[in-house]
Chains A and B, each alone.
Chain A
Amino acid sequence: MSTVRERSVPRGAAGRGTLWPYLLIAPAVLGMLYLLLYPLARAVLISLQDFRLRQLVLGDADFVGLRNYRTLLGDPEFWEVVRRTFVFMAVEVVAIMVLSTLVALMTERLGRVARTVVLSSLVLVWAVPVVAATTVFQWLFHSEFGIVNKVLTGLGFASYEGYPWFAHGAAASGIVVVLIVWQSVPFAAITLYSALVTVPAELYESARMDGAGAARVFRSVTFPLIRPIFMLVLSLEVIWTFKAFVQIWVMTRGGPGEATTILPVYAVQTALARQRYDLGSAASMLTVLLMSGVLVLYFRQLFRQEGEQP
């Protein structure tokens, strides 16, 4: 598609050698420079300085080289946060990808009415604002009047009567994971579903005539065809779950104890609660570094999808 587009670009006098295109992109470029690149450069700088409350007020920060990074990397608590971030990410991404693939496969096989109902409910979940969803989950898992405890007690698990979910590390982590998965599955499922419907039905027919079972058809026909979109969704979900901040901040502030403190939460706590802006920035930059590997994969997939554009 892109080659057609390239050729159809008008080659008149207005298209070449004038200042117009540069004037048209100038506001966007200025925005990116001042609102993205400058803060990023500033973050790198702060992470190389001795920057605490005093320097915030007086503004005479000293350059200390890589000291903040050395402090962080030598701190076992930081490594615990990194480990926790990866565990959260892995559990969430596996759950999201498995569930959304199943939902997409199911949706494709449904009748017209049922399919519309399923897709509409997915879109509805997608639309619920993060803060609202987080508040609702706090209410669902409320110790005294929450519906979850009542249902569990009603089913005969008497130990859940008045169970304080947010007081136990494992339970609070579980709720965070469930919330993030619940919010992320709709995007993944709908995207995978729209990839699935592009698979020609004849391919299934012939595979089935060759005697392939459902699992075999999925492995050797369906999956290879939706693989590009699957990888795209996978890398997006890795990035999104890696930097999930709002849900955790609103729900647990990283607690109880440190149980739900993942990297972005740790960085903000270090900087804004303990006034160690330098260490917080260094942690943020390490987060960006860890994410950039996945980002590269995402971009490669994206540009392969886009053809030779941009």
Chain B
Amino acid sequence: MSTPRPRPPARRTLRRLPLNAAAALTVVVCLFPVYWMVTTAFKPSTDIQSYDPRLVPGAWTFEHFRKAVGADGFALFWRNSILVTLSAVLLALLVALGAAYAVARMRWRGRRQFMLAVFVAQMAPWESLIIPIYIISRDTGMLDRLVTLTLIYFMITLPFTVVVLRGFIAGIPPELEEAAQVDGCTRAGAFRRVAFPLLAPGLMATSLFGFITAWNEFTYANFLIIKQQDSRTLPVWLSSFQSTFGTDWGATMAASTLFALPALIVFLALQRHVTAGLASGGVKG
């Protein structure tokens, strides 16, 4: 193995061959399923159901996308997903901003305990709470309603949002706000005019992660929306897509692509933030 980056002469290049081969293998293993999803979505059905698969589509078609978009309720489920996701993220941001400010900027009894509770809440066993939440929602007439999903996604994303925003707020020197207060701003005014603009990148990053979590959530959407098919969201729609369309893998892959696209775009836009310091946040995309 070579030391980090002096310019490689030819001999070096040869020695680095196994390393680069391993890198190429990693990239192929990572990308192939995604590549296969997208190309299947663009292949004509005759190519998909052929016994002689082609790595690169011979012909391209939008037929499958037309079928997926034209499927029953696609626009409705898309709207539901957007609605639930955005309201959950906005609610979480609003609530987390207040809590994070209190933790980062004020001294009060119970601060440590509150942060501990937030850290515990972040690891909440959501998979094990399906049964009681189903029963509670049923008892209170909250089944089949998007509000229920919104509240749950809000709670799933809230702890992470508090943790990250606390870090961002603590990183802004309080002297800036104090100076504004000396100049006659109220404490809230000082925060809004001075700290808030500096917080924009933090708000952006956390809200995008919240977006992905809520956008992808399947379990609660699946078990809390039962009778009212009009309240379903995209992940549930996709999981039942196959039973509706049977063996039409072209349309199924087109639907997967359409569903994955927003998350992929958000993630790639976020890439720089993704690689830094997520271990302590414990975020699973």
Which chain A residue has the least Cβ–Cβ distance from B134? A272
Determine whether A155 belongs to the interface, using a CB cutoff of 8 Å to chain B.
Answer: no
SS of A interface (majority): helix
If the complex has contacts A128-B263, A267-B128, are A36 and B98 also in contact, measured as CB distance less than 8 A?
no
B174 proximal to A (CB < 8 A): yes
Report the minimum CB–CB distance from B114 to chain A (whole Å). Answer: 6
With A and B bound together, what is the CA distance between A121 and B124 in angstroms? 30
The 10 nearest A-B residue pairs measured at CB: A310-B115, A127-B267, A284-B128, A24-B102, A24-B98, A121-B30, A42-B132, A21-B102, A21-B108, A35-B155
When distances are taken between beta carbons in the complex, the residues of chain B under 8 Å from A236 are 279, 282, 284
Residues on B with beta carbons closer than 8 Å to the beta carbon of A268: 130-131, 223
Are A20 and B136 interface neighbours, CB within 8 A? no
Are A131 and B268 in contact, CB atoms less than 8 angstroms apart? no
0/1 interface trace, chain B 264-275, chain A, CB 8 Å (1 if under):
101110010011
Q: Is the CB of A132 within 8 A of B268?
A: no
Interface status of A38 (Cβ within 8 A of chain B) = yes
Docked complex Cα distance between A61 and B188 (Å): 50
Residues on the A chain within 8 Å of B225, using CB: none
Q: Nearest CB to that of A5 among chain B residues? A: B170
Residues in A whose Cβ lies below 8 Å from that of B98: 23-25, 27-28
B207 within 8 A of A: no
Residue among B106, B158, B259 with max Cβ neighbours from chain A (10 Å): B106
Q: Which of A64-72, A89-97, A166-174, A295-303 contacts B (4 or more CB under 8 A)?
A: A295-303
B125 partner, pick from A29, A201, A288, beta carbons under 8 A: A288
Judge whether A9 and B125 touch: CB under 8 Å. no
- Residues of A within 8 Å of B96, CB to CB, are 28
Given the known A-B contacts A110-B23, A250-B239, are A9 and B34 also in contact in the complex, defined by CB atoms under 8 Å?
A: no
- B128 contacts across to A, CB distance below 8 A: 43, 243, 264, 267, 284-285, 287-288
Give every chain B residue within 8 A of A302 (Cβ-Cβ).
119, 280, 282
A residues adjacent to B (C-beta < 8 A): 5, 8-11, 14-16, 20-25, 27-29, 31-32, 35-36, 38-40, 42-43, 46, 56, 59, 103, 106-112, 114, 117-140, 142, 145, 147, 150, 182, 186-187, 190-191, 193-195, 201, 204-205, 208, 214, 229, 232-233, 236, 239-240, 243, 245-246, 249-250, 264, 267-268, 271-272, 277, 280-281, 284-285, 287-288, 291, 295, 298-299, 302, 305-306, 309-310
Known: A103-B26, A136-B256, A145-B49. A40 touches B132 (CB 8 A): yes
A157 to B198, CA, bound (A): 60
B253 at interface by CB-CB < 8 Å: yes
B235 on interface, CB distance cutoff 8 Å:
yes
Given A25-B99, A135-B252, CB of A10 within 8 Å of CB of B30: no
Q: How far is the CB of A137 from chain B (nearest CB, A)?
A: 7
* A187 cross-chain contacts in B, Cβ below 8 A: 278, 283-285
The smallest C-beta distance from B242 to any residue of chain A, in angstroms, reads 7
Residue of B nearest to A153 (CB): B51
Report whether A272 and B223 are in contact in the complex, using a CB–CB cutoff of 8 Å.
yes
Task: Write the chain A residue with the least CB distance to B266.
Answer: A127
- For the complex with contacts A25-B114, A32-B155, A35-B151, 19 further pairs of A-B residues with Cβ separation under 8 Å are A5-B104, A25-B99, A29-B117, A39-B136, A42-B136, A106-B19, A114-B20, A119-B271, A121-B27, A124-B31, A125-B34, A126-B267, A130-B218, A132-B256, A194-B277, A271-B131, A302-B119, A302-B280, A310-B111
Instruction: Tell me whether A24 and B259 are in contact in the complex, defined as CB-CB below 8 angstroms, given that A114-B23, A250-B239 are known contacts.
Output: no
Q: B48: nearest residue on chain A (CB-CB)?
A: A145
Known: A125-B30, A139-B249, A194-B275. A131 touches B238 (CB 8 A): yes
Closest-by-CB residue of B relative to A43 is B132
Check B239 against A135 for contact (C-beta < 8 Å): yes
Query: Which A residues lie within 8 Å of B228 (CB)?
Result: none
